[in-house]
């Protein structure tokens, strides 16, 4: 069924592109003045009529197969009710209906014909056909991936521009090849009509290809997003294949452009031969473009790379993390020789572009110098990578997962690595310090691979068969918090303006039987002061908070209090005077304490100030820093309110 869908989509896309391009070339060439050129125009019109019918037929097959896939059963393809439902009750179906309505109008318009001997009528007829065909083509974007994965209209608009560019450039190649072939058969000289058409098309094609490149890059950044997505997913592989075919087509286009002066040159015999050669090149280009359209159709059947898990194909990856905490000067000194080589290469390249003599030799030398610099300098920036290096964790970064991960870690890992309380060294000398920057710089996917497959050379067993996939991801969530809690640059008692780096693990806020919320629900709206308390030691601080809750609330802070253990009586235990009006959790307390107390081990009472974006910005603990009074907390809150540029929202998953 998928193969039939692909075939229908590819044929439909190609037909729509070719019809659009055919009328564009006719408009660019203008009304044909001589009989041979009029015959060419009639051939193009005849082909366009057939192509519209092919587009309608393949579109019908596409809708029928889509209906079967949408309903999840093959016989739905033959049910009128199911097809009607798919056409009228789904957005892609509505788009399909409008598009095919336009194609039917176009078919009727082409089949009825009309007198176009007057120039104005000719332009009106060809222009109308082009507009109808182009509309039917660009509306494909309204039900494409870009429209589906973004609420903004810009991705759809860019996709439409890309489709129009494809229609104009790719669709115009076959009629242009035919025109030049007919023109080349004139032994005297190619008709000026054909030469003018080729020149105009060439100029417009250059602009169109630049627009295609720009819109393609914009769409790829939305749907592919990264190098990992490009090389590690089916969608990315198809895009790479598409780019490869496009490069070949552009090489031929460049060769044609180089032949253009000879087409209108004084040597008429040579001009005819040139026209024939150009016709051949353009025909090959058109063939490559048809392959390209097939690849584009296949891409629509794959999941966009940004939504999939890339499988990294190489044993290493480039990592600039090593440069993060090394002074720039020191880096430059270390990369001295490589930078000199690369710099020399760029200088030679600049000279080569300015002078004409020995240009190719100088360009070659420039590339050798740049490549040498890269070959020497890049290996130091390479780190070991695995197929799951860029895998996206299926488990979100939340307290429940971290608590579960800590339990798994304590049961399986402490015999070789550290215990979760700070200060204890690894019991085995060979085990990696899991709090180190080395581990912090590993991606979540790389940690997942190492846990699953182990490191036999270091004596680490594989846990793939002992732990479930979810358990391994829970351990990785725990390791992220474990490392962050040990970071020497960690959060202090004072908010550092414009320095938000520690995402607060999400958790559920359950207060009795009320509808639970999550910490994430406050993002973009209110700050949160998370209070981990324990009675009776915390009584004074809780009373202070209850008294000043109104003032904090006005400043945009919600206080969330968590006792050590889950208790339905948590609110009553805090007393009635003063009344405690902020949320006091009655469920899930153990997981939240297990997670957040990693930052404050040993403290009876701890408070975390979490900003509106979801980052922890200040931590107070009763055993070391002391718990601030309401005025001191308000001062830190005001610092956050004065931040001009809020940081970007943290991802729900670790990386």
Partner 1 sequence: MPMWRVVLLLNLTLAVGLGFGYGVWGHRLAALDGELKTVQARLERLEREREACVTGARVGEQQWEGRGIVRAIYPQLLLITHEEIVGLLPARTTGFRAATSANHGRASVGDPIRFWLRGTGTGNVILVRMEPW
Residue (102 or 296) nearer to partner 1, CB = 102
Rounded Cα gap, residues 589 and 565, in angstroms: 5
> Segment contacting partner 1 (CB under 8 A): 112-120, 317-325, 396-404, 631-639?
112-120
Both tokens assigned to 551: 């003032």
Residue (425 or 573) nearer to partner 1, CB = 573
Pick from 46, 74, 121, 152: which binds partner 1 (CB under 8 A)?
121
Q: How far is CA 365 from CA 112, 368, 375, 605, in A?
A: 63, 5, 15, 67
Rounded Cα gap, residues 14 and 294, in angstroms: 8
Check binding of 122 to partner 1 (CB under 8 A): yes
Check binding of 581 to partner 1 (CB under 8 A): yes
> Segment contacting partner 1 (CB under 8 A): 181-189, 406-414, 478-486, 568-576?
568-576
Q: How far is the CB of 171 from partner 1 (least distance, A)?
A: 21
Check binding of 535 to partner 1 (CB under 8 A): no
Both tokens assigned to 507: 């958790």
Check binding of 550 to partner 1 (CB under 8 A): no
Check binding of 554 to partner 1 (CB under 8 A): no
Residue (34 or 124) nearer to partner 1, CB = 124
Going by their DSSP bridges, the two strands 517-518 and 616-621 should be labelled as unpaired
Q: Is 174 helix (H, G, I), strand (E, B) or coil?
A: helix
Pick from 60, 105, 422, 649: which binds partner 1 (CB under 8 A)?
105
Neighbouring-strand partners of residue 506: 398
Nearest to 8 by CA among 56, 51, 50: 56
Check binding of 420 to partner 1 (CB under 8 A): no
Pick from 420, 505, 583, 628: which binds partner 1 (CB under 8 A)?
583
Going by their DSSP bridges, the two strands 606-610 and 316-318 should be labelled as unpaired
Rounded Cα gap, residues 534 and 468, in angstroms: 35
Pick from 35, 81, 115, 465: which binds partner 1 (CB under 8 A)?
115
Nearest to 564 by CA among 540, 541, 596: 596
Check binding of 27 to partner 1 (CB under 8 A): no
Q: Is 599 helix (H, G, I), strand (E, B) or coil?
A: coil
Check binding of 460 to partner 1 (CB under 8 A): no
Token look-up 């208790």 returns 567
Residue (312 or 522) nearer to partner 1, CB = 522
Three-class DSSP labels, 253-272? HHHHHHHHHHHCCCCHHHHH
> Segment contacting partner 1 (CB under 8 A): 197-205, 435-443, 536-544, 572-580?
572-580
Q: How far is the CB of 517 from partner 1 (least distance, A)?
A: 9
> Segment contacting partner 1 (CB under 8 A): 108-116, 390-398, 437-445, 482-490?
108-116
Check binding of 139 to partner 1 (CB under 8 A): no
* Range 466-525, binding partner 1 (CB under 8 A): 511-515
Check binding of 18 to partner 1 (CB under 8 A): no
> Segment contacting partner 1 (CB under 8 A): 163-171, 258-266, 432-440, 577-585?
577-585
Check binding of 89 to partner 1 (CB under 8 A): no
Residue (106 or 296) nearer to partner 1, CB = 106
Q: How far is the CB of 92 from partner 1 (least distance, A)?
A: 18
Residue (88 or 353) nearer to partner 1, CB = 88
Nearest to 440 by CA among 474, 480, 477, 382: 480
Chain-centre distance of CA 258, in angstroms? Answer: 37
Check binding of 116 to partner 1 (CB under 8 A): yes
Check binding of 111 to partner 1 (CB under 8 A): no
Residue (123 or 470) nearer to partner 1, CB = 123
Nearest to 397 by CA among 307, 309, 506, 473: 506
Chain-centre distance of CA 330, in angstroms? Answer: 34
Check binding of 626 to partner 1 (CB under 8 A): no
DSSP result, 557-590:
EEEEEE-SS--TTHHHHT-SSS---S-B--BSHH
Which residues 6+ apart lie within 8 Å of 435 measured at CB? 418, 482, 483, 486
CA angle 271, 273, 274 (to 5 degrees): 60
> Segment contacting partner 1 (CB under 8 A): 111-119, 192-200, 280-288, 413-421?
111-119
Other C-beta atoms lying within 10 Å of the C-beta of residue 651: 12
Total interface residues for partner 1 by CB under 8 A: 33
Listed in sequence order, the DSSP H helices in 301-390 are: 328-334, 336-354, 359-377
Residue 591 near residue 625 (C-beta atoms within 8 A)? no
Rounded Cα gap, residues 611 and 525, in angstroms: 9
Nearest to 640 by CA among 503, 499, 522: 499
> Segment contacting partner 1 (CB under 8 A): 155-163, 327-335, 343-351, 564-572?
564-572
Residue 507 near residue 528 (C-beta atoms within 8 A)? no
> Segment contacting partner 1 (CB under 8 A): 36-44, 113-121, 181-189, 393-401?
113-121
Q: What dihedral angle (degrees, nearest 10) is formed by the CA atoms of 61, 65, 70, 74? A: 140
Check binding of 128 to partner 1 (CB under 8 A): yes
Q: How far is the CB of 52 from partner 1 (least distance, A)?
A: 16
Q: What radius of gyration do the chain's Cα atoms show?
A: 33
Check binding of 576 to partner 1 (CB under 8 A): yes
DSSP state of 605: S
Q: How far is the CB of 238 from partner 1 (least distance, A)?
A: 34
Q: How far is the CB of 138 from partner 1 (least distance, A)?
A: 15
Q: How far is the CB of 509 from partner 1 (least distance, A)?
A: 12
Pick from 34, 411, 438, 572: which binds partner 1 (CB under 8 A)?
572
Pick from 6, 70, 109, 501: which binds partner 1 (CB under 8 A)?
109
Binding mask 288-317 for partner 1 (x = CB under 8 A): ------------------------------
Q: How far is CA 526 from CA 519, 553, 608, in A?
A: 10, 9, 14
Check binding of 141 to partner 1 (CB under 8 A): no
Per CB under 8 A, residues contacting partner 1 are 98, 105, 109, 114-116, 118, 120-125, 127-128, 131, 511-515, 568-573, 575-576, 579-581, 583
């Amino acid at each position: 069924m998928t193969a039939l869908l692909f075939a229908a989509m590819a044929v439909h896309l190609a037909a729509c592109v070719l019809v659009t391009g055919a009328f564009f070339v006719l408009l660019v060439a203008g009304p044909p003045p001589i009989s041979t050129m009029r015959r060419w125009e009639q051939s193009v019109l005849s082909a366009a009529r057939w192509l519209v019918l092919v587009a309608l037929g393949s579109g019908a097959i596409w809708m029928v197969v889509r209906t079967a896939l949408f309903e999840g059963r093959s016989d739905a393809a033959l049910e009128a009710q199911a097809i009607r439902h798919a056409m009228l009750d789904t957005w892609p179906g509505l788009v399909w209906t409008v598009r095919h309505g336009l194609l039917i109008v176009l078919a009727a318009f082409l089949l009825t014909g009309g007198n176009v001997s007057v120039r104005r009528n000719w332009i009106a007829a060809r222009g109308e056909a082009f507009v109808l065909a182009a509309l039917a083509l660009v509306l494909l974007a309204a039900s494409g991936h870009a429209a589906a994965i973004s609420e903004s209209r810009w991705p759809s608009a860019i996709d439409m521009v890309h489709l129009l560019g494809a229609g104009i450039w790719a669709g115009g190649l076959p009629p242009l090849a035919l025109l030049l072939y007919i023109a080349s058969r004139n032994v005297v000289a190619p008709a000026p009509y054909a030469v003018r058409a080729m020149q105009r098309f060439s100029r417009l094609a250059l602009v169109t290809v630049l627009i295609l490149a720009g819109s393609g890059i914009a769409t790829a950044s939305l749907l592919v997003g990264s190098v990992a997505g490009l090389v590690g997913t089916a969608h990315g592989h198809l895009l790479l294949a598409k780019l490869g075919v496009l490069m070949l087509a552009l090489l031929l286009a460049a060769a044609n452009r180089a032949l253009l002066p000879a087409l209108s040159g004084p040597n008429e015999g040579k001009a005819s031969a040139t026209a024939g050669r150009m016709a051949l090149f353009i025909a090959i280009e058109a063939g490559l473009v048809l392959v390209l359209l097939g690849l584009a159709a296949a891409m629509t059947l794959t999941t966009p790379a940004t939504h999939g898990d890339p499988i990294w194909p190489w044993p290493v990856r480039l990592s600039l993390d090593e440069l993060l905490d090394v002074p720039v000067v020191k880096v430059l000194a270390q990369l001295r020789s490589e930078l000199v080589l690369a710099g020399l290469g760029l200088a030679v390249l600049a000279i080569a572009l300015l002078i004409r003599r020995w240009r190719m030799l100088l360009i070659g030398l420039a590339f050798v110098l740049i490549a040498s610099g890269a070959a020497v300098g890049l290996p130091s920036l390479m780190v070991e990578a695995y197929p799951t290096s860029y895998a996206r964790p299926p488990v979100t970064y939340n307290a429940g997962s971290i608590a579960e991960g800590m339990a798994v870690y304590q049961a399986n890992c402490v015999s070789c690595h550290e215990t979760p309380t700070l200060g204890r060294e690894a019991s085995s000398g060979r085990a990696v310090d899991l709090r180190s920057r080395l581990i912090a710089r590993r991606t979540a996917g790389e940690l997942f691979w190492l846990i699953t497959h182990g490191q036999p050379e270091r004596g680490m067993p594989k846990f793939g068969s002992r732990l479930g996939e979810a358990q391994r991801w829970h351990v990785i969530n725990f390791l992220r918090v474990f490392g962050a809690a040990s970071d020497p640059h960690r959060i202090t008692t004072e908010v550092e303006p414009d320095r938000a780096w520690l995402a607060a693990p999400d958790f559920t806020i359950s207060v009795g039987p009320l509808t639970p919320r999550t910490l994430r629900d406050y993002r973009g709206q209110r700050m949160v002061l998370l209070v981990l308390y324990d009675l009776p030691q915390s009584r004074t601080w809780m009373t202070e908070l209850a008294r000043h809750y109104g003032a904090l609330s006005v400043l945009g802070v919600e206080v969330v209090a968590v006792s050590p253990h889950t208790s339905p009586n948590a609110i009553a235990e805090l007393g009635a005077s003063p009344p405690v009006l902020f949320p006091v959790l009655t469920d899930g307390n153990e997981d939240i304490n297990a997670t957040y107390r990693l930052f404050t081990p040993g403290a009876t009472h701890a408070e975390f100030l979490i900003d509106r974006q979801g980052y922890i910005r200040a931590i107070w603990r009763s055993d070391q820093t002391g718990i601030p009074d309401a005025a001191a907390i308000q001062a830190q809150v005001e610092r956050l309110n004065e931040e001009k540029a809020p940081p970007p929202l943290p991802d729900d998953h670790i990386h």
